[in-house]
Structures are given as C-alpha cells and as structure tokens.
Amino acid sequence: MCIRDRDIIDYKDLKWKVWDSKVIKRDFKMNKAYKGWDVDDFFKSVCTSKTVDGGKIFDEERERALINVVGYLMNDYKHEDDVKIVVLCEEQITDMGGRTGKSLTCKMLENMGGNVVWIDGRSVDFKNRFLFQNVTEENDIVVFDAIDRKFDFKALYSIATTGLTVEKKGKNAVHLSHKETPKFIITTNTVLTDESNSGKSRKFEIEFSDHFNDEYTPILKYGRRFFDGWNDEDWSLFDNYMIDCAIS
C-alpha cells in the first residue's frame, strides 16, 4: 500500500458537521510503521495462494482490490450509480470451506466506526417483511454472513438500485432512499451462480485464499485475537492502516 502524507485537523476546524455516532472514541496519532504488522500481514496473507508444489504466490492486484473495497465500505458516500454489492468469497470452494478471514475483515470495518447490521445468511428469507427491521438510517453496512446456495441474490437487485424499505413490527414502514440505504456485504463459502448481466453489474467479488482455515487461524499466527487486548500502539497502527485504505 502507498503510504500517503496526511494532516490532522481538529473537529472545530472542519467546514462541516460530524454526527457524534460517527466519532470513534479513541485518540488518533500519526503512525506509518504498519508495514509487516498484523493487519497488513493479514491482508497480504488472504491474498496469497498455495501452489500444487507447496509454494506460495502473492497476488498484489487482489490485495489492491481488497484495500480499495475496504476503503469504499468505510466511506458512507454513495453515488446514484453505485449499485455494487461486495461479495467476500473463497478462492477454493470445498465442503470444508470457511474461516478464511472474511468475517474478520467485516469486523475491522466495525472497529473503524462502521455501524453494521449482521444478518445470518443461512436463514435469510426475502419474503419476510421484517427481515431488515434492525436497519436504520444510521447504519452504514448490512452483512449477510455465511450465506448458502439458497440465498436469492436477485432479491437485492431493486434494493441496491432504488433503496430499502424497512418495516418494524407494529410500526409504519419507512423507505430509505438509495443514498440512505446501507452498503451490502455478502460472505460466502459457495459460488453465487448469477452470471446474468444484472448480476455481474451488481456484485464485486473479492476472493480469499485458504491461507487461514479451521486449523490455522489468525490467533495461531499472531498469538492473539484481533482487537482483544490491543494496546494504544496497536490501535494506532490499525487506525493508520485503515485510513490509508480509505485514501489509497
């Protein structure tokens, strides 16, 4: 990743207002020494594939795409032509797939102040009027986590294009405009089979290698859980890395 020069500006000097709910409750300091640190290594690892002879191939283009997607998801701005749904999927599709780092990537967005609604991908029924009852205009991202082959990707077409209608039990339905509707992430161990022009124009797929799995987890590699027990230096490195994703 290219490390950019940045200036730190006090909130009082901004020309626009910032919602209190969007303010990350920790101090920020400039720290550009994140190369090789846990999160930087994690991103490179999930973009490194194994070869048949036991070697490894790092895909720089895939890492760049992942960095750009993370930056895109941290920004709550949406252009009227922005109808993309981010799909975090597996490079190797097997019955034993999973645990490759897709959900952890989504949790990174949460820890950068993203207001995320998690929906169990295996139990999604788009005919359920209250499927999105936990979504509000303050949410930035909706994650359909670990969907299966029954997931109806086409049901998201109109939502991604025209906006989302939220209905809560006992209350009137509220329609969120396209710009007010959160961005969508799908995590999956299977293949989204929709190869129609409409499907291709709406999904942006990022493949995760099988570097991490059930037996070899980020905890084993880095000796700790992400976010748990991090000190100020760790959070500083994380913040700077993620900010560079947003401005890369």
DSSP string, 162-177: H-EEE--TTS--EEEP
Q: Tens digit of pLDDT for each residue in 61-115?
A: 999 999 999 999 999 888 888 999 999 999 987 655 578 999 999 999 999 999 9
**Ordered structural domains, the chain, with CATH:** 25-247 (3.40.50.300)
Rounded to whole angstroms, the Cα distance separating 86 from 69 reads 8
pTM of this prediction exceeds 0.85: yes
User: What pLDDT does residue 56 have?
Assistant: 94
Predicted local confidence at residue 244, as pLDDT: 95
Query: For residues 164 and 81, what is the distance between their CA atoms, to the nearest angstrom?
Result: 16
Consecutive H or E run containing 39: helix 38-45
Q: With contact defined as beta carbons under 8 Å apart, do 211 and 193 qualify? A: no
- Write the pLDDT tens digit of every residue in 210-237: 999 999 999 999 999 999 989 999 999 9
Between these two residues, 7 and 129, which has the higher pLDDT value?
129
